[in-house]
A and B are shown apart, each in its own frame.
Chain A
Amino acid sequence: MERAVDLEPRVWRPASARAQPRAKATTFIAVVLASACLSALVASWLPLQVSVITVFLFAGPHNWFELRYFLMRLPARFGRSRNFFIVAFAGIATLTLGYIALPLLYYANVWSGANWPTAIATWNSLLLIWIAALVWLRGRQRRGRDWSWALPVAFGLTSLNWLNPELFSLAIVYLHPLVALWFLDRHLARNRPEWLQSYRRCLMLLPLLLVGIVWQLGRMPSLADDNGLAWRITQHAGAQLLPGVSSHVLVSVHVFLEMLHYGVWLLALPLIAPLRKSRGKIWDVKTVPLARRRRGFPRLIAAVLGAGLFVVLALWLGFSTNYAATRDIYFTVAIAHVLAEAPFLLRML
């Protein structure tokens, strides 16, 4: 009898109500597939132009949305996660300062270019050890989970890093956009579990699109990088490190992944996940736990978000006046948001 009572709502739910989530999931999948295919097409067609436009339009705003998201995910009280967040913030600050200091010290002639790869390898090693420490700390917070495998894995990756640090840094450039897809996966698992399976099936299209881009553009000549901006874009995509690969392929793949990254942070996550629970507007400071609690910091949070908006406007102004220099500065400073993704993603695992 109890079973019959439990089953009753499921059996007698109107057909239209049952069909609604399925229809929404179908729409979601259609949008995801269309966006991915369109991004691949545009990135393959005009890689340099699309790279310039996407970075100009979305680089700043997506960082602001990430900041907003991280503030929302920051607990009001750290509690048992205190050590985790101390290590996280200390690592973000140290590694970001180190990353910014490397080119500054180089241009100040503090060291010669000969030591550059060693410095990069050291920075990469610190990054890997920091991530391993975070994984280990996160594993300790969860009962029944032993995540101490992170240390040997980190040491193994560090070993590979020292064999070719430049290639390892290039791997970070290509892997970072994919982290956004992982964030979306975790959010769907929490907020829209009925969409998760379809989303994961969509992800299987990603390698197919990448193979398609490589296959289609593999035999094309490299992009003309005779001006400073084009040269910067091709270098960022690894044209110098992978001379045997057409820079057309490299830039297209990188732009495609970046477009997915921007799409997730600017559209998918704000529209699907966080607003569903809080029901708050994106500019509402009270949706941030640190501002909402009794002895919270609403003014500080508002100031941080306001400063973020100011930086976005400054970036647009900088891109308009000197695109190449602003792009260089942006990709150096933006390492902070790359690093910040690691602890917040781990918090969701």
Chain B
Amino acid sequence: MKTPLLFCAAVVLLLASAVIAFADIPLPKASPSPVPSKTIKTTLVVAPDLNAWTARLQIPRSSLRQLRASLDNVPGEEALGTTSGSRTGTIVAGLFMFLAVSFGGVWLMRSGHSRNQKAVAAIAMAAALLGATAMITRGNAAPPPGWKWQRLPQNLNGGVPTTGQVEVEIVPEGESIKLIIPMYKATAESKPAE
């Protein structure tokens, strides 16, 4: 009596788990991998020059390499050759951060400091850990990338160069190179009085 009951229960459990795990749904058709957008992120310097005869666009070799890789559908990180923000770099950084906290904790406990000193050290370590985590996860993100272009008109009038982030896009239409500068709307206080 007991064995058939267990068998039925097992079958019911299996069917229920199949439903929960969507095991009764066929595999989705393999979709083509998404085509990466032809975009790279770099910095742009707009520099007025009184002695220049014609407008010149200077592209660093590294940016050109990145752009070429983007056109060839090579991942940008690989083309740029940086570990900043890369998966490998983040994993290794996290591993070493784990080691740092582990060894730091062991050192703190084994050291002959007083309880108050240990508490202060533990708080400092926690703060450092949080800070590093914020850096790794980019929790300390800067203002929007277009923010530095706000002073472009004044800088152009004053002959001062302006540096800011720029996204280089390859677009299918058009015949001219186009530069789009973000201009945030002025706040009510900064608007001139009418």
Contacts and interface: CB of A to CB of B under 8 A. Distances in A.
A80 B79 CA distance: 50
Contact of B103 (A115, A125, A152, A165): A152
Contacts of B92: 121, 159, 162
A162 B83 contact: yes
A75 interface: no
B62 interface: yes
Interface in B61-87: 62, 65, 78-79, 81-84
A159 B99 CA distance: 9
B128 interface: yes
Interface of B: 43, 45, 47, 60, 62, 65, 78-79, 81-84, 88-90, 92-97, 99-104, 107, 110-111, 128, 132, 135-136, 148, 160-161, 163
Given A152-B102, A162-B96, 12 more contacts: A112-B81, A114-B81, A117-B83, A148-B110, A151-B107, A152-B99, A152-B100, A156-B132, A159-B132, A164-B83, A164-B84, A244-B148
Contact of A165 (B62, B78, B83, B102): B83
A243 B163 contact: yes
Closest 5 CB pairs of A and B: A152-B104, A155-B100, A159-B96, A156-B100, A162-B93
B79 A114 contact: yes
The prevalent SS among residues of A at the interface is: helix
A244 B103 contact: no
17 contacts: A113-B81, A115-B81, A117-B82, A146-B111, A149-B104, A152-B103, A155-B99, A156-B132, A159-B93, A160-B135, A162-B83, A162-B92, A164-B83, A166-B84, A219-B160, A221-B47, A243-B163
A116 interface: yes
A148 B96 contact: no
Contact of B101 (A118, A146, A152): A152
B132 A240 contact: no
Contacts of A121: 83, 89, 92
Nearest to B75: A114
Contacts of A155: 96-97, 99-100, 103
Contacts of A163: 83-84, 89-90, 93, 135-136
A158 interface: yes
A115 B82 CA distance: 8
Nearest to A245: B163
A18 to B, nearest CB: 42
Contact of B107 (A152, A158, A164): A152
A125 B88 CA distance: 14
A158 B96 contact: yes
Contacts of A164: 83-84
Contacts of A162: 83, 89-90, 92-93, 96
Nearest to A128: B96
Given A151-B107, A152-B100, A159-B93, A243 B135 contact: no
Contacts of A158: 96, 100
Contact of B78 (A114, A148, A166, A221): A114
Contacts of B97: 155-156, 159
A132 to B, nearest CB: 10
Contacts of B43: 243-244
Contacts of A243: 43, 45, 163
Contacts of B100: 152-153, 155-156, 158-159
Interface string A232-251: 00000000100110000000
A266 to B, nearest CB: 37
Nearest to A113: B81
A146 B97 CA distance: 22
A125 B47 CA distance: 39
A7 B44 CA distance: 71
B97 to A, nearest CB: 4
A112 B135 CA distance: 28
Interface string A160-189: 111111100000000000000000000000
Contacts of A166: 82, 84
Given A163-B135, A244-B163, A156 B83 contact: no
A221 B161 contact: yes
Nearest to A148: B107
Contacts of B107: 146, 148-149, 151-152
B103 A117 contact: no
Contacts of A118: 83, 88-89
Nearest to B125: A152
Contacts of A161: 93
Nearest to B49: A221
Contacts of A156: 96-97, 100, 104, 128, 132
